[in-house]
Structure 1
Amino acid sequence: MFNFKIFNKVSTDVLTIKNDLELNTELQLINKYKTATSDDYMQAIVLIFKERGYSALERLCCTNLSVKGFSAI
């Protein structure tokens, strides 16, 4: 039997937020992530970082570009 849950479903709200945030710099996004209260807002920022080639999102919070574990691939 095949598993058709290959891709995570991303809500329209997350995609709208992501579109609004895409022109922000990494440092701006990091600051917005740290102060975010909405899960959709945080998920949109994570998607932007993944598209930019960053990973290890679990440990966010140290230096400028490796904040919260974002490290360039």
Structure 2
Amino acid sequence: MATCFWMLKQPRFIKCFDAEPSANNIMFLFNSCVESICEPSFARNGCYNVINIIQAVGCANVGRLPILANFLSGSLCPPYVP
């Protein structure tokens, strides 16, 4: 969860990713991230799927968020285990 928890703590990222007051979109992203980290058969590709979602909605360039840059680089994704 630590790998994904930043998504719920960064107001600028939340505002970019989820303009709805329900927070459904950010919770979907957080849940997808946790699943991708915790599920061994899904981990590496799942993590990159979350990265692709963030890029697709245009939130890859939210400023002054080093954790976002680290996440998008793939350095927080689990290693590939065949």
TM-score (structure 2 length as normaliser)? 0.31
Higher strand share: 1
Q: Which has the higher helix share?
A: 2
Larger Rg: 1
